[in-house]
C-alpha cells in the first residue's frame, strides 16, 4: 500500500508490518473453514509443490556438488577429508536446504501466486465472489496459503536429500573420500536437533513466503502495472525476509 | 479442474517423495535414529577399554591405516567398570593374530576416533567371539596435561630448577597396556 505523504519512515515501517500481521490473522481465521474444501488445497499443493520439484531437485543437486567440492578443498587442508559427510550434511540441513528452497520457492511459486491473485483482483473476480457472498479469503487466499506451508518443508527435505546425494557423488566418486567414513561420520555427528532445526526453519519460511505472496496479490493495484509491481515486491520481500528470519532462527537455536 | 488425473498423481507423488525424504533425513542421518540397513557380513571380536573417549558406533577399525571393519556396539561392563566394544571385522581379513592389540586413536587433526589394531606374533588367529587381550585407552588430553604439570612440579621440588626435566619424564607415557585374560 502506498503510504500517505508526511508520514515518517518508522511509521511507514510499523504500518507495513502491521498490515501483514492483520492480514495473517484474517487468513488464519479462514484456514480452518477452508479445510472443508480439501480439493482446493490439493490443487495449490500441486501448483506450489509438485510443479517446483524439478527446479528444486536440479538446484539441490548442484548445491550439494559445490558443497562437496568446496568442503573437500577446505577439509583437505586440515587432513580431515573424512569429515566431508558431516560438513555437507550440516550445511544442507541447517542452512542451505531451507534458505535456498525458500528463495527458489519465492521465485517459482510466490510470483505465480501473487500474479494469479492480483489478476483476479484486476479482473474483478474477487469482487464478484464477494457479491455472491463467497468469501475470497476463504476460497482463494487461504487454500494458497495452506498449500504453500505444506509444500515448503517437503520441498526442503527433497532438496536436502538430493543435495546429500550430490555431495556424495563429488566427494566419494570424484575426490575419493572413503564412502564408509563419509556416511558413518555423518551419522555419528548429526543430531536429531540439527534435522529438526532445518524442518522448523523451512516451515517458518513457508509461512512467511506464502503470506507475502498472498498478501501482495490480494492487495495489488488492479492494473497491469500494479500486478507487475506486486510480483516484484513479493520476490524482494520474501527473499529479504527469508534471510533475516534465517539469522534470527539460527541465533535462537544456537 | 481440467487434467484431474495429472493433478492427483502429481500431488501424490510430490507428497510421498517429500515425506520419504523427511523420513530418511530424520531416521537415517542422526546418531539417535533407527537404522534399517541390514546386518553386514563379517565376524565379531570384543575388546575392553578403560576409556573410549568419544568413540562412536560406526567408527572405523583399521590396521596399518587400512579400514578393516567398524565399531558395532559399545556397552558398559559393570563387572570391571570398563567399556566393552564389539568390533565387526570384514570377512576378508581373517588372519589377525589373537595376541594383537587394539588402541583408540584419532584421525587427523579434527577427525573422529577410530580403533587401530596392531598385529601380534601369534600363529593362531582371532575368530568370531574372541576377545582382543591387549588394549590401550583413548588418550585424554586433559589428564595428559595434568600429568605433565604434576610431574614437572615434583621434579622442580626434587632437583631445583631443571627446565628440561618434564620433557623426557613420563609425560608422554601412554596410559599403560593392560592384560585382561
The predicted complex's ipTM stands at: 0.76
- Both B152 and B86 in a single domain? no
- Both B81 and B106 in a single domain? yes
In chain A, which residues have pLDDT < 70? 1-7
For residue B165, being part of any structural domain is answered with: yes
- Both B73 and B113 in a single domain? yes
pLDDT of residue B43 exceeding 70: yes
Q: Average pLDDT over chain B, rounded to whole?
A: 76
Residue B114 phi/psi, 5-degree rounding, is -140, 165
User: For chain B, which residues lie within 8 Å of any Cβ of chain A, measuring from their own Cβ?
Assistant: 1, 7-8, 10-11, 13-15, 17-19, 21-22, 24-26, 28-33, 56-60, 67, 70, 107-112
Beta bridge pairs of residue B43: B89
Q: What range does the domain containing A55 cover?
A: 9-253
- Asked if residue A136 lies in contact with residue A126, where contact means CB atoms within 8 angstroms, the answer is yes
For residue A4, being part of any structural domain is answered with: no
- Both B131 and B48 in a single domain? yes
- Both B76 and B146 in a single domain? no
Sign of CA dihedral A219, A220, A221, A222: negative
- Asked if residue B11 lies in contact with residue A42, where contact means CB atoms within 8 angstroms, the answer is yes
For residue A36, being part of any structural domain is answered with: yes
Q: In what order do the strands lie in the sheet with B66-77?
A: B131-132, B43-49, B82-89, B66-77, B60-63, B113-118, B101-106, B134-136, B178-179
For residue B178, being part of any structural domain is answered with: no
- Both B150 and B132 in a single domain? no
- Asked if residue B58 lies in contact with residue B69, where contact means CB atoms within 8 angstroms, the answer is no
- Both B109 and B75 in a single domain? yes
End-to-end CA distance of chain A: 37
Going from the C-alpha of A2 to that of each of A12, A13, A71, A172, A214, the distances in angstroms are: 9, 12, 46, 54, 18
For residue B28, being part of any structural domain is answered with: no
* Residue A2 pLDDT: 53
Q: Which residue has the cell 541465533?
A: A251
Alpha helices of A190-253 — where are they, by DSSP H? 192-218, 224-253
Is A192 close to B112, i.e. CB distance below 8 A? Answer: no
* Residue B34 pLDDT: 59
For residue B84, being part of any structural domain is answered with: yes
DSSP of B116-128: EEE----SSB--T
Strand (E) or helix (H) holding A2:
none
- How many contacts does A have with B, using Cβ atoms within 8 A? 117
For residue B24, being part of any structural domain is answered with: no
Q: What range does the domain containing B164 cover?
A: 141-172
* Residue B110 pLDDT: 60
* Residue B111 pLDDT: 64
**Contact residues on chain A for B10, CB-CB shorter than 8 A:** 46, 50-51
- Both B57 and B90 in a single domain? yes
Compare CB distances from A83 to B30, B31, B111 and report the shortest one's residue. Answer: B111
For residue A67, being part of any structural domain is answered with: yes
* Residue B166 pLDDT: 44
For residue A1, being part of any structural domain is answered with: no
- Asked if residue A92 lies in contact with residue A67, where contact means CB atoms within 8 angstroms, the answer is yes
For residue A2, being part of any structural domain is answered with: no
For residue B94, being part of any structural domain is answered with: yes
- The average pLDDT across B56-80 equals 85
Which of B21, B27, B28 to mutate: most A Cβ within 10 Å? B21
Domain count for chain A: 1
Compare CB distances from B18 to A42, A158, A185 and report the shortest one's residue. Answer: A158
Domain count for chain B: 2
- Both B75 and B113 in a single domain? yes
Burial B26-52 (b: 16+ CB within 10 A, else e): bebbbbebeeeeeeeebbbbbbbbbeb
Is B13 close to A154, i.e. CB distance below 8 A? Answer: no
Report the gap between the CA of B171 and the closest CA in chain A (Å). 26
- Both B57 and B130 in a single domain? yes
- Both B125 and B152 in a single domain? no
Amino acid at each position: 500500500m502506498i503510504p500517505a505523504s508526511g508520514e515518517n519512515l518508522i511509521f511507514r515501517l510499523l504500518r507495513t508490518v502491521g498490515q501483514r500481521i492483520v492480514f495473517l490473522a484474517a487468513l488464519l481465521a479462514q484456514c480452518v473453514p477452508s479445510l472443508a474444501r480439501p480439493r482446493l488445497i490439493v490443487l495449490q499443493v500441486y501448483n506450489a509443490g509438485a510443479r517446483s520439484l524439478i527446479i528444486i531437485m536440479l538446484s539441490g543437486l548442484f548445491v550439494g556438488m559445490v558443497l562437496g567440492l568446496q568442503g573437500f578443498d577446505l577439509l583437505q587442508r586440515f587432513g580431515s577429508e573424512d569429515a566431508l559427510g558431516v560438513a555437507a550434511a550440516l550445511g544442507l540441513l541447517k542452512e542451505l536446504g531451507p534458505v535456498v528452497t525458500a528463495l527458489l520457492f519465492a521465485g517459482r511459486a510466490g510470483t505465480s501466486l501473487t500474479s494469479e491473485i492480483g489478476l483476479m483482483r484486476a479482473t474483478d473476480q474477487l469482487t464478484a465472489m464477494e457479491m455472491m457472498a463467497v468469501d475470497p479469503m476463504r476460497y482463494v487466499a487461504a487454500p494458497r496459503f495452506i498449500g504453500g506451508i505444506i509444500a515448503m518443508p517437503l520441498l526442503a527435505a527433497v532438496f536436502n536429500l538430493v543435495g546429500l546425494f550430490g555431495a556424495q557423488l563429488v566427494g566419494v566418486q570424484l575426490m575419493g573420500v572413503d564412502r564408509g567414513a563419509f556416511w558413518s561420520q555423518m551419522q555419528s555427528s548429526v543430531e536429531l536437533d540439527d534435522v529438526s532445526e532445518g524442518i522448523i526453519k523451512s516451515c517458518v519460511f513457508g509461512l512467511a513466503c506464502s503470506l507475502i505472496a498472498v498478501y501482495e496479490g490480494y492487495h495489488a493495484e488492479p492494473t497491469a502495472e500494479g500486478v507487475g509491481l506486486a510480483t516484484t515486491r513479493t520476490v524482494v520481500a520474501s527473499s529479504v525476509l527469508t534471510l533475516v528470519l534465517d539469522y534470527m532462527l539460527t541465533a535462537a537455536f544456537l | 479442474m481440467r487434467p484431474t488425473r495429472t493433478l492427483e498423481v502429481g500431488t501424490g507423488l510430490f507428497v510421498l517423495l517429500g515425506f520419504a525424504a523427511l523420513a530418511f533425513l530424520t531416521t537415517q542421518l542422526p546418531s539417535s535414529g533407527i537404522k534399517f540397513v541390514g546386518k553386514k557380513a563379517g565376524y565379531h571380536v570384543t575388546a575392553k577399554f578403560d576409556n573410549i573417549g568419544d568413540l562412536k558406533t560406526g567408527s572405523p577399525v583399521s590396521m596399518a591405516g587400512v579400514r578393516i571393519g567398524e565399531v558395532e556396539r559399545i556397552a558398559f561392563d559393570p563387572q570391571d567398570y570398563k567399556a566393552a566394544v564389539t568390533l565387526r571385522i570384514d570377512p576378508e581379513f581373517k588372519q589377525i593374530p589373537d595376541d594383537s592389540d587394539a588402541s583408540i586413536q584419532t584421525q587427523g587433526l579434527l577427525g573422529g576416533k577410530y580403533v587401530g589394531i596392531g598385529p601380534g606374533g601369534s600363529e593362531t588367529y582371532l575368530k568370531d567371539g574372541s576377545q582382543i587381550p591387549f588394549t590401550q585407552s583413548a588418550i585424554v588430553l586433559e589428564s595428559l596435561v595434568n600429568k605433565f604439570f604434576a610431574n614437572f612440579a615434583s621434579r622442580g621440588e626434587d632437583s631445583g630448577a631443571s627446565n628440561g626435566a618434564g620433557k623426557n619424564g613420563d609425560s608422554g607415557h601412554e596410559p599403560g597396556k593392560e592384560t585382561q585374560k
